[in-house]
Amino acid sequence: MGRIKTDMVKRVSIQLVETHPEKFSRNFERNKEALKGLAEVRSKKLRNVIAGYSVRLKRQSEEGTKSRRKKL
């Protein structure tokens, strides 16, 4: 079982990945750096969670896996 992500984390990650797909990749460290310039995230933990979820989104989009998530 995985960890549950809040709707806010999912919403922000989806919005950022859809608007700036070239800035995000499957690399967690690069996504953390990209977040510094794109969003003002005050908490280190929240930044890491958003970066991690964006890795998941990029992997799903590249592999073409069907997502079971609802549209937020």
Assigned domain for 13 exists:
yes
Cβ contacts of 22 within 8 Å, gap of 6 or more? none
Residue 63: band (very low, low, confident or very high) from pLDDT cuts 50, 70, 90: confident
Total of domains in the chain: 1
Which of the two residues, 30 and 68, has the higher pLDDT score? 30
- Domain with 47, as residue range(s), is 7-63
- Find, among 27, 8, 3, the residue nearest to 54 by Cα: 27
Assigned domain for 31 exists:
yes
Average pLDDT, the chain: 88
CB 29 within 8 A of CB 54: no
**Per-residue pLDDT at 29:** 97
Cβ-in-10-Å burial (0-12, 13-18, 19+) of 32 comes to middle
Assigned domain for 52 exists:
yes
Domain with residue 26: its CATH number is 1.10.60.20
Instruction: For 30-54, write each residue's pLDDT tens digit.
Output: 999 999 999 999 999 999 999 999 9
Assigned domain for 2 exists:
no
Q: In the predicted model, is pLDDT for residue 59 greater than 60?
A: yes
- What does the alpha-carbon distance between residue 32 and residue 2 come to, in Å, rounded to a whole number? 21
Assigned domain for 1 exists:
no
